[in-house]
Amino acid sequence: MIYLKTPEEIETMRSSALLISQTLGEIARNIAPGVSTRKLDTIAREFILDNGGKPACLGYEGFPATLCIEVNETVVHGFPSDRILLDGDIVGVDNVVEKDGFMADMCFTFPVGTVSPEKMALLRTTYESLYVGIEAARPGARIGDISNAIQTYCERRGYSLVREMCGHGIGRKMHEAPEVPNYGRRGIGPRLVDGMVICIEPMVNMGSRNIVIESNGWECRTRDRKPSAHFEHTVAVVDGRTEVLTTFDYIPSEIMEKFI
């Protein structure tokens, strides 16, 4: 069942959306060659707690960390560790924050130092496809319209879409109905109406769409070990319009300029 939020509940969700956006900005300022992914996780956890939030991923079904870390070929759900980021890596940082009883979810894949033109093209296409999906998420549209818009945009540029993982509804729980796939046909799926809050999150591979789940039961990587990118916003339909609750505005301008 899709849980439609009241205008008051969506207003409350703005606090978790603001905090997670600020957290991502704090992490962004610390991403550089030589930094461990565990340090990024510590920065995120302390920032969230210091600002009255709860790291929702920490302990979720046994997940051991605040952040899902996605280095190079990792698609989703990677564990922070003592791994040191290297010049030329890309690293996705996926995070869920709870505040005032509601969740917000977002992800950004960062270039570390100087990355190859091929990796940067993957990042730009995935980033752009997120906004293509948001543009398709108009009131009265269907979930399949979002899915098809993202798929079409990426596949026309030679990339593949992960099919086993998808976006989702969000609210008092991290994952709610409906699922929001990154592939599909226009005109199918639930209709977007006032009160729906969903996470749109394209996961795009440079090579094959096929994935492998590692032995820890969480980490998902590309089967061919080619790079994957992941971007995500929490989006609400409210008062007959679509509004992006999370924002990348807290990410330093020198990073965002690489995506223009």
pLDDT for 245 beyond 90: yes
DSSP state of 54: E
* C-alpha to C-alpha distance for 98 and 173, rounded to whole angstroms: 9
The distance from CA 230 to its chain's CA centroid, rounded to whole angstroms, is 6
Contact 222, 75 (CB under 8 A): yes
pLDDT for 204 beyond 90: yes
The pLDDT assigned to 248 comes to 98
* C-alpha to C-alpha distance for 181 and 110, rounded to whole angstroms: 23
For range 218-246, the mean pLDDT: 98
Residue 101 phi/psi, 5° resolution?
90, 0
pLDDT digits 0-9 by tens, 114-149:
999 999 999 999 999 999 999 999 999 999 999 999
pLDDT digits 0-9 by tens, 167-180:
999 999 999 999 99
For range 57-64, the mean pLDDT: 97
Domain architecture of the chain: domains with CATH: 7-259 (3.90.230.10)
* C-alpha to C-alpha distance for 123 and 108, rounded to whole angstroms: 9
pLDDT digits 0-9 by tens, 10-55:
999 999 999 999 999 999 999 999 999 999 999 999 999 999 999 9
Burial of 93 (0-12, 13-18, 19+ CB in 10 A): buried
pTM (2 d.p.)? 0.98
For range 81-102, the mean pLDDT: 98
* C-alpha to C-alpha distance for 256 and 100, rounded to whole angstroms: 30
Contact 77, 218 (CB under 8 A): yes
Question: In what helix (H) or strand (E) does residue 70 lie, and over which residues does it extend?
Answer: strand 67-71
CB neighbour burial string for 190-204, b if at least 16 within 10 angstroms, e if fewer: bebebbbbbbbbbbb
| Reported confidence tier of residue 260, pLDDT bands at 50, 70, 90 | confident
